[in-house]
Chain A
Amino acid sequence: MEIKVITKETFETEVLQAKEPVLVDFFAEWCGPCKMLAPILHEIAEEKSDLKICKLDIDQNVDLALEYGVQAVPTMILFRQGEAAQKIVGLCSKDELLQQLSL
Protein backbone atom coordinates (compact mmCIF):
# COMPACT_ATOMS: atom_id res chain seq x y z
CA MET A 1 0.00 0.00 0.00
CA GLU A 2 1.08 3.56 -0.68
CA ILE A 3 2.39 5.54 2.33
CA LYS A 4 0.02 8.43 3.02
CA VAL A 5 1.06 11.79 4.39
CA ILE A 6 -1.58 12.80 6.92
CA THR A 7 -2.33 15.93 8.94
CA LYS A 8 -4.42 16.85 11.97
CA GLU A 9 -7.34 17.35 9.59
CA THR A 10 -7.19 13.83 8.15
CA PHE A 11 -5.95 12.00 11.27
CA GLU A 12 -9.45 11.15 12.50
CA THR A 13 -10.61 9.51 9.26
CA GLU A 14 -7.31 8.00 8.13
CA VAL A 15 -6.18 6.62 11.50
CA LEU A 16 -8.81 6.59 14.22
CA GLN A 17 -11.68 5.40 12.06
CA ALA A 18 -9.65 2.95 9.98
CA LYS A 19 -10.71 -0.70 10.04
CA GLU A 20 -7.22 -2.06 9.45
CA PRO A 21 -4.20 -1.48 11.75
CA VAL A 22 -2.43 1.79 10.97
CA LEU A 23 1.23 2.47 11.61
CA VAL A 24 1.86 6.19 11.99
CA ASP A 25 5.40 7.45 11.50
CA PHE A 26 5.76 10.67 13.51
CA PHE A 27 8.64 12.35 11.73
CA ALA A 28 10.31 15.71 11.22
CA GLU A 29 11.94 17.17 8.12
CA TRP A 30 15.14 17.92 10.04
CA CYS A 31 15.46 14.43 11.51
CA GLY A 32 18.22 12.28 10.02
CA PRO A 33 17.15 8.89 11.39
CA CYS A 34 13.66 9.57 9.98
CA LYS A 35 15.15 9.71 6.51
CA MET A 36 16.95 6.41 7.04
CA LEU A 37 13.71 4.83 8.20
CA ALA A 38 11.79 5.87 5.10
CA PRO A 39 13.09 3.17 2.72
CA ILE A 40 12.43 0.51 5.37
CA LEU A 41 8.82 1.64 5.82
CA HIS A 42 8.46 1.76 2.06
CA GLU A 43 9.52 -1.88 1.80
CA ILE A 44 7.09 -2.90 4.57
CA ALA A 45 4.30 -0.98 2.83
CA GLU A 46 4.98 -2.90 -0.38
CA GLU A 47 4.92 -6.27 1.38
CA LYS A 48 2.07 -5.91 3.86
CA SER A 49 -1.25 -5.34 2.18
CA ASP A 50 -3.15 -5.65 5.47
CA LEU A 51 -1.31 -2.77 7.11
CA LYS A 52 -1.78 0.92 6.42
CA ILE A 53 1.24 3.20 6.90
CA CYS A 54 0.95 6.96 7.35
CA LYS A 55 3.45 9.76 7.94
CA LEU A 56 2.76 12.74 10.17
CA ASP A 57 5.06 15.77 10.34
CA ILE A 58 5.30 16.66 14.05
CA ASP A 59 6.22 20.28 13.38
CA GLN A 60 3.04 20.82 11.37
CA ASN A 61 0.93 18.86 13.85
CA VAL A 62 2.29 19.72 17.26
CA ASP A 63 -0.95 19.02 19.12
CA LEU A 64 -1.18 15.45 17.87
CA ALA A 65 2.46 14.81 18.71
CA LEU A 66 1.84 16.08 22.23
CA GLU A 67 -1.37 14.13 22.60
CA TYR A 68 0.41 10.88 21.79
CA GLY A 69 3.48 11.67 23.89
CA VAL A 70 5.92 11.91 21.03
CA GLN A 71 9.13 13.28 22.54
CA ALA A 72 11.66 12.13 19.99
CA VAL A 73 11.61 11.39 16.29
CA PRO A 74 11.16 9.04 14.68
CA THR A 75 8.38 7.59 16.81
CA MET A 76 6.11 4.98 15.31
CA ILE A 77 2.74 4.23 16.82
CA LEU A 78 0.59 1.34 15.76
CA PHE A 79 -3.13 2.10 16.01
CA ARG A 80 -5.67 -0.68 16.24
CA GLN A 81 -9.35 0.27 16.13
CA GLY A 82 -8.48 3.87 16.96
CA GLU A 83 -6.37 2.98 19.96
CA ALA A 84 -2.62 3.54 20.22
CA ALA A 85 -1.58 -0.08 20.74
CA GLN A 86 2.18 0.04 20.45
CA LYS A 87 4.96 2.57 20.28
CA ILE A 88 8.52 2.34 18.97
CA VAL A 89 11.00 5.15 19.41
CA GLY A 90 14.09 5.57 17.26
CA LEU A 91 15.58 4.04 14.15
CA CYS A 92 15.53 0.26 14.06
CA SER A 93 15.96 -2.48 11.49
CA LYS A 94 13.06 -3.90 9.53
CA ASP A 95 13.19 -7.18 11.42
CA GLU A 96 13.16 -5.44 14.79
CA LEU A 97 10.27 -3.28 13.71
CA LEU A 98 8.14 -6.19 12.50
CA GLN A 99 9.02 -8.22 15.55
CA GLN A 100 8.19 -5.50 18.06
CA LEU A 101 4.90 -4.77 16.34
CA SER A 102 4.17 -8.51 16.04
CA LEU A 103 3.33 -8.02 12.39
Chain B
Amino acid sequence: MEQYDVIIIGAGTAGLSAAIYAARSGKRTLVLEGKSCGGQIINAKAVVNYPGIKQISGVDFAMGLYEQAVEAGAKVLFQKAVRIELADSKKIVATAKQNYACGAVILAMGAKNRPLGLEREAELTGSGVSYCATCDGAFYKGKKTAVVGGGNTALEDALVLSEYCQKVTLIHRRDSFRGEWQTVQELKERSNVEILTDTVVTALEGDRQLTGIRVRNLKQEKEWVLPVHGLFAAVGQTPQSELVRDLVELDDYGYIKADESCRTSLPGIFAAGDCRTKEIRQLATAAADGVTAALAACQLA
Protein backbone atom coordinates (compact mmCIF):
# COMPACT_ATOMS: atom_id res chain seq x y z
CA MET B 1 0.00 0.00 0.00
CA GLU B 2 1.24 3.49 -0.81
CA GLN B 3 2.21 5.36 2.35
CA TYR B 4 1.78 9.06 3.00
CA ASP B 5 2.09 11.28 6.04
CA VAL B 6 -0.96 13.39 5.28
CA ILE B 7 -3.87 12.63 2.97
CA ILE B 8 -6.17 15.47 2.05
CA ILE B 9 -9.61 14.73 0.64
CA GLY B 10 -10.78 17.42 -1.77
CA ALA B 11 -8.73 19.80 -3.93
CA GLY B 12 -10.71 22.96 -3.29
CA THR B 13 -9.29 26.05 -1.64
CA ALA B 14 -9.11 24.43 1.80
CA GLY B 15 -7.55 21.18 0.56
CA LEU B 16 -4.94 22.80 -1.68
CA SER B 17 -4.01 25.35 0.99
CA ALA B 18 -3.49 22.47 3.39
CA ALA B 19 -1.41 20.68 0.75
CA ILE B 20 0.92 23.66 0.31
CA TYR B 21 1.62 23.78 4.05
CA ALA B 22 1.91 20.03 4.60
CA ALA B 23 4.22 19.56 1.61
CA ARG B 24 6.37 22.55 2.57
CA SER B 25 6.71 21.04 6.05
CA GLY B 26 8.37 18.09 4.38
CA LYS B 27 5.44 15.70 4.75
CA ARG B 28 4.56 13.17 2.08
CA THR B 29 1.28 14.70 1.01
CA LEU B 30 -1.47 13.25 -1.17
CA VAL B 31 -4.55 15.14 -2.32
CA LEU B 32 -7.48 13.12 -3.69
CA GLU B 33 -9.99 14.92 -5.89
CA GLY B 34 -13.17 13.36 -7.27
CA LYS B 35 -14.03 16.04 -9.88
CA SER B 36 -11.69 18.71 -11.17
CA CYS B 37 -9.36 20.63 -8.91
CA GLY B 38 -10.36 24.00 -7.53
CA GLY B 39 -13.73 23.22 -5.98
CA GLN B 40 -16.63 25.66 -6.04
CA ILE B 41 -14.66 28.76 -6.90
CA ILE B 42 -14.06 27.68 -10.51
CA ASN B 43 -17.68 28.77 -11.05
CA ALA B 44 -16.98 32.35 -10.07
CA LYS B 45 -16.30 34.77 -12.87
CA ALA B 46 -14.39 37.17 -10.68
CA VAL B 47 -13.13 37.07 -7.13
CA VAL B 48 -12.63 40.56 -5.71
CA ASN B 49 -12.52 39.92 -1.97
CA TYR B 50 -9.53 37.65 -1.41
CA PRO B 51 -7.11 39.70 0.66
CA GLY B 52 -4.04 40.71 -1.32
CA ILE B 53 -5.51 39.95 -4.75
CA LYS B 54 -7.54 42.81 -6.19
CA GLN B 55 -9.24 40.79 -8.86
CA ILE B 56 -8.84 37.32 -10.31
CA SER B 57 -11.06 34.82 -12.09
CA GLY B 58 -12.13 31.78 -10.08
CA VAL B 59 -10.33 29.48 -12.52
CA ASP B 60 -7.05 31.38 -12.34
CA PHE B 61 -7.29 31.42 -8.56
CA ALA B 62 -7.84 27.66 -8.50
CA MET B 63 -5.08 26.92 -11.02
CA GLY B 64 -2.66 29.09 -9.06
CA LEU B 65 -3.40 27.10 -5.90
CA TYR B 66 -3.09 23.81 -7.76
CA GLU B 67 0.29 24.70 -9.26
CA GLN B 68 1.53 26.04 -5.95
CA ALA B 69 0.58 22.79 -4.19
CA VAL B 70 2.18 20.60 -6.87
CA GLU B 71 5.36 22.71 -6.92
CA ALA B 72 5.54 22.47 -3.12
CA GLY B 73 5.71 18.69 -3.60
CA ALA B 74 2.15 17.52 -2.99
CA LYS B 75 0.78 14.78 -5.17
CA VAL B 76 -2.70 15.38 -6.57
CA LEU B 77 -4.64 12.41 -7.92
CA PHE B 78 -8.03 12.54 -9.59
CA GLN B 79 -9.71 9.82 -7.58
CA LYS B 80 -12.74 10.09 -5.35
CA ALA B 81 -12.29 8.94 -1.75
CA VAL B 82 -14.97 6.37 -1.02
CA ARG B 83 -14.02 5.05 2.44
CA ILE B 84 -11.85 5.79 5.42
CA GLU B 85 -10.76 2.99 7.72
CA LEU B 86 -8.81 2.97 10.93
CA ALA B 87 -5.97 0.48 11.32
CA ASP B 88 -4.00 0.80 14.58
CA SER B 89 -2.42 4.22 14.46
CA LYS B 90 -2.79 4.44 10.68
CA LYS B 91 -5.69 5.68 8.61
CA ILE B 92 -6.52 4.06 5.32
CA VAL B 93 -8.22 6.04 2.60
CA ALA B 94 -9.80 3.98 -0.15
CA THR B 95 -10.72 5.04 -3.69
CA ALA B 96 -12.37 2.82 -6.31
CA LYS B 97 -8.86 2.07 -7.55
CA GLN B 98 -6.54 1.81 -4.62
CA ASN B 99 -5.95 2.10 -0.87
CA TYR B 100 -3.62 4.66 0.64
CA ALA B 101 -2.29 4.69 4.19
CA CYS B 102 -1.39 7.76 6.22
CA GLY B 103 -0.92 9.17 9.69
CA ALA B 104 -3.42 12.01 9.41
CA VAL B 105 -6.39 12.80 7.21
CA ILE B 106 -7.69 16.26 6.38
CA LEU B 107 -11.30 16.35 5.26
CA ALA B 108 -11.80 19.21 2.79
CA MET B 109 -14.79 18.01 0.80
CA GLY B 110 -16.54 21.36 0.73
CA ALA B 111 -20.19 21.85 0.00
CA LYS B 112 -22.41 21.52 -3.00
CA ASN B 113 -25.57 23.17 -4.18
CA ARG B 114 -28.75 21.95 -2.60
CA PRO B 115 -31.14 20.33 -5.07
CA LEU B 116 -34.76 21.47 -5.16
CA GLY B 117 -35.94 17.93 -4.48
CA LEU B 118 -38.12 17.65 -7.57
CA GLU B 119 -38.86 14.53 -9.52
CA ARG B 120 -36.47 14.02 -12.50
CA GLU B 121 -34.27 16.86 -11.28
CA ALA B 122 -31.04 14.86 -11.64
CA GLU B 123 -32.05 13.63 -15.08
CA LEU B 124 -32.69 17.16 -16.36
CA THR B 125 -29.59 18.67 -14.79
CA GLY B 126 -27.55 19.97 -17.69
CA SER B 127 -30.64 19.81 -19.91
CA GLY B 128 -32.37 22.85 -18.53
CA VAL B 129 -31.79 22.53 -14.80
CA SER B 130 -28.67 24.25 -13.48
CA TYR B 131 -27.18 25.34 -10.16
CA CYS B 132 -24.89 28.01 -11.50
CA ALA B 133 -26.10 30.96 -13.55
CA THR B 134 -22.59 32.31 -14.00
CA CYS B 135 -21.51 28.99 -15.50
CA ASP B 136 -24.46 27.95 -17.63
CA GLY B 137 -26.37 31.18 -18.17
CA ALA B 138 -24.93 31.83 -21.61
CA PHE B 139 -26.66 28.74 -23.00
CA TYR B 140 -29.99 30.49 -22.45
CA LYS B 141 -29.35 33.69 -24.33
CA GLY B 142 -32.63 35.08 -25.70
CA LYS B 143 -34.63 32.39 -23.90
CA LYS B 144 -36.99 32.32 -20.95
CA THR B 145 -35.49 31.26 -17.63
CA ALA B 146 -36.46 31.05 -13.98
CA VAL B 147 -34.45 31.33 -10.78
CA VAL B 148 -35.51 29.74 -7.48
CA GLY B 149 -34.38 31.12 -4.14
CA GLY B 150 -34.50 34.11 -1.86
CA GLY B 151 -30.90 34.87 -0.91
CA ASN B 152 -28.16 36.88 -2.53
CA THR B 153 -27.15 34.09 -4.90
CA ALA B 154 -30.68 33.91 -6.33
CA LEU B 155 -30.89 37.69 -6.70
CA GLU B 156 -27.47 37.93 -8.36
CA ASP B 157 -28.33 35.04 -10.66
CA ALA B 158 -31.56 36.74 -11.75
CA LEU B 159 -29.66 39.95 -12.39
CA VAL B 160 -26.99 38.24 -14.48
CA LEU B 161 -29.57 36.31 -16.52
CA SER B 162 -31.70 39.40 -17.15
CA GLU B 163 -28.78 40.88 -19.09
CA TYR B 164 -29.29 38.45 -21.96
CA CYS B 165 -32.38 36.30 -21.41
CA GLN B 166 -35.69 37.19 -22.98
CA LYS B 167 -37.40 36.87 -19.62
CA VAL B 168 -36.38 35.89 -16.10
CA THR B 169 -38.86 34.80 -13.44
CA LEU B 170 -37.59 34.89 -9.88
CA ILE B 171 -39.45 32.45 -7.66
CA HIS B 172 -39.34 32.55 -3.86
CA ARG B 173 -41.43 30.64 -1.38
CA ARG B 174 -41.67 33.49 1.14
CA ASP B 175 -43.07 36.98 0.73
CA SER B 176 -39.79 38.82 1.26
CA PHE B 177 -36.17 38.22 0.24
CA ARG B 178 -33.23 37.45 2.52
CA GLY B 179 -30.82 38.98 0.02
CA GLU B 180 -29.80 42.61 -0.37
CA TRP B 181 -32.59 45.14 -0.64
CA GLN B 182 -30.76 47.11 -3.30
CA THR B 183 -30.55 44.16 -5.65
CA VAL B 184 -34.26 43.47 -5.22
CA GLN B 185 -34.98 47.09 -6.23
CA GLU B 186 -32.72 46.75 -9.25
CA LEU B 187 -34.56 43.62 -10.34
CA LYS B 188 -37.94 45.29 -9.94
CA GLU B 189 -36.84 48.00 -12.34
CA ARG B 190 -35.94 45.57 -15.11
CA SER B 191 -38.74 45.12 -17.60
CA ASN B 192 -37.84 41.51 -18.40
CA VAL B 193 -37.83 40.35 -14.77
CA GLU B 194 -40.94 38.96 -13.10
CA ILE B 195 -40.96 38.25 -9.37
CA LEU B 196 -43.21 35.58 -7.91
CA THR B 197 -43.27 35.49 -4.12
CA ASP B 198 -45.11 32.93 -1.97
CA THR B 199 -44.55 30.57 -4.86
CA VAL B 200 -42.88 27.18 -5.16
CA VAL B 201 -41.91 24.94 -8.07
CA THR B 202 -43.78 21.64 -7.89
CA ALA B 203 -42.76 19.81 -11.09
CA LEU B 204 -40.47 19.86 -14.09
CA GLU B 205 -41.94 19.55 -17.58
CA GLY B 206 -40.26 18.34 -20.75
CA ASP B 207 -38.99 15.08 -22.11
CA ARG B 208 -35.27 15.29 -22.59
CA GLN B 209 -35.00 19.04 -22.33
CA LEU B 210 -36.79 21.25 -19.86
CA THR B 211 -39.71 23.06 -21.51
CA GLY B 212 -41.51 24.41 -18.48
CA ILE B 213 -42.06 24.26 -14.75
CA ARG B 214 -45.21 23.80 -12.75
CA VAL B 215 -45.48 26.46 -10.04
CA ARG B 216 -47.90 26.94 -7.17
CA ASN B 217 -48.82 30.10 -5.36
CA LEU B 218 -49.09 29.11 -1.70
CA LYS B 219 -51.38 31.95 -0.64
CA GLN B 220 -53.88 31.68 -3.46
CA GLU B 221 -53.60 27.90 -3.80
CA LYS B 222 -53.21 28.38 -7.54
CA GLU B 223 -51.09 26.21 -9.81
CA TRP B 224 -49.97 26.78 -13.40
CA VAL B 225 -47.24 25.99 -15.90
CA LEU B 226 -44.54 28.52 -16.68
CA PRO B 227 -42.79 27.90 -20.00
CA VAL B 228 -39.01 28.15 -19.44
CA HIS B 229 -35.92 26.60 -21.03
CA GLY B 230 -33.68 27.10 -18.07
CA LEU B 231 -34.29 26.70 -14.35
CA PHE B 232 -31.59 27.91 -11.98
CA ALA B 233 -31.73 26.61 -8.41
CA ALA B 234 -30.14 28.85 -5.79
CA VAL B 235 -31.54 27.48 -2.57
CA GLY B 236 -28.39 27.10 -0.51
CA GLN B 237 -25.83 24.45 0.03
CA THR B 238 -25.26 21.16 1.69
CA PRO B 239 -21.96 19.79 3.00
CA GLN B 240 -20.31 16.86 1.25
CA SER B 241 -19.80 14.83 4.38
CA GLU B 242 -21.44 11.47 3.55
CA LEU B 243 -17.99 9.87 3.44
CA VAL B 244 -17.50 10.36 7.19
CA ARG B 245 -21.09 10.23 8.42
CA ASP B 246 -20.42 7.20 10.59
CA LEU B 247 -16.88 8.18 11.50
CA VAL B 248 -16.87 11.67 13.02
CA GLU B 249 -19.42 13.90 14.70
CA LEU B 250 -21.60 16.02 12.42
CA ASP B 251 -23.98 18.83 13.32
CA ASP B 252 -27.72 18.77 12.56
CA TYR B 253 -27.11 20.02 9.03
CA GLY B 254 -24.43 17.48 8.23
CA TYR B 255 -21.43 19.78 8.66
CA ILE B 256 -18.38 18.24 10.34
CA LYS B 257 -17.80 19.42 13.90
CA ALA B 258 -14.25 20.57 14.52
CA ASP B 259 -12.47 22.76 17.04
CA GLU B 260 -10.33 25.86 16.55
CA SER B 261 -7.44 23.68 15.33
CA CYS B 262 -9.76 21.86 12.92
CA ARG B 263 -9.65 18.65 14.99
CA THR B 264 -12.72 16.45 14.57
CA SER B 265 -14.11 14.06 17.17
CA LEU B 266 -11.64 11.42 15.95
CA PRO B 267 -7.92 11.87 16.66
CA GLY B 268 -5.84 12.22 13.52
CA ILE B 269 -8.77 13.37 11.41
CA PHE B 270 -9.14 17.08 10.69
CA ALA B 271 -11.78 19.09 8.86
CA ALA B 272 -11.15 22.26 6.87
CA GLY B 273 -13.21 24.67 4.77
CA ASP B 274 -16.86 24.70 3.82
CA CYS B 275 -17.52 21.14 5.02
CA ARG B 276 -17.08 22.03 8.68
CA THR B 277 -19.40 23.79 11.10
CA LYS B 278 -18.59 27.51 11.07
CA GLU B 279 -20.04 30.95 10.56
CA ILE B 280 -18.29 32.21 7.46
CA ARG B 281 -17.74 30.14 4.32
CA GLN B 282 -15.41 32.03 2.03
CA LEU B 283 -12.11 31.47 0.24
CA ALA B 284 -10.11 33.26 2.92
CA THR B 285 -11.66 31.19 5.71
CA ALA B 286 -11.22 27.98 3.70
CA ALA B 287 -7.54 28.81 3.14
CA ALA B 288 -7.11 29.65 6.83
CA ASP B 289 -8.66 26.33 7.83
CA GLY B 290 -6.39 24.50 5.41
CA VAL B 291 -3.30 26.05 6.96
CA THR B 292 -4.46 25.37 10.52
CA ALA B 293 -5.44 21.78 9.78
CA ALA B 294 -2.20 21.06 7.91
CA LEU B 295 0.05 22.32 10.68
CA ALA B 296 -1.96 20.42 13.30
CA ALA B 297 -1.80 17.28 11.14
CA CYS B 298 1.95 17.67 10.65
CA GLN B 299 2.48 17.44 14.40
CA LEU B 300 0.93 13.97 14.33
CA ALA B 301 2.07 12.52 11.05
Contact = CB atoms under 8 A, between A and B. Distances in A.
Interface of A: 32-33, 35-37, 39-40, 43, 91, 93-95
B37 A33 contact: no
B38 to A, nearest CB: 6
B57 interface: yes
A59 B172 CA distance: 42
A36 B63 CA distance: 7
Interface in B36-79: 36-38, 42, 57-60, 62-63, 66, 76-79
- 3 closest cross-chain pairs (CB), A and B: A32-B59, A94-B78, A36-B36
A43 B57 CA distance: 24
B34 interface: yes
B80 A36 contact: no
Contact of B59 (A36, A39, A43, A94): A36
Contacts of B96: 95
Given A32-B42, A43-B78, A93 B66 contact: no
Contacts, number: 40
A36 B42 contact: yes
Q: DSSP majority for the A interface?
A: helix
Interface in B71-91: 76-80
A40 B42 contact: no
B35 interface: yes
A93 B63 contact: no
14 contacts: A35-B60, A36-B38, A36-B42, A36-B62, A36-B63, A39-B76, A39-B78, A40-B36, A43-B77, A43-B78, A93-B35, A93-B80, A95-B34, A95-B78
A40 B59 CA distance: 15
Given A37-B36, A40-B36, A93-B80, 11 more contacts: A32-B57, A32-B59, A32-B60, A35-B59, A35-B63, A36-B36, A39-B37, A39-B66, A93-B34, A93-B36, A95-B80
A54 B37 CA distance: 21
A101 to B, nearest CB: 15
Contacts of A39: 36-37, 66, 76, 78
Nearest to B34: A93
Interface string B18-46: 00000000000000001111100010000
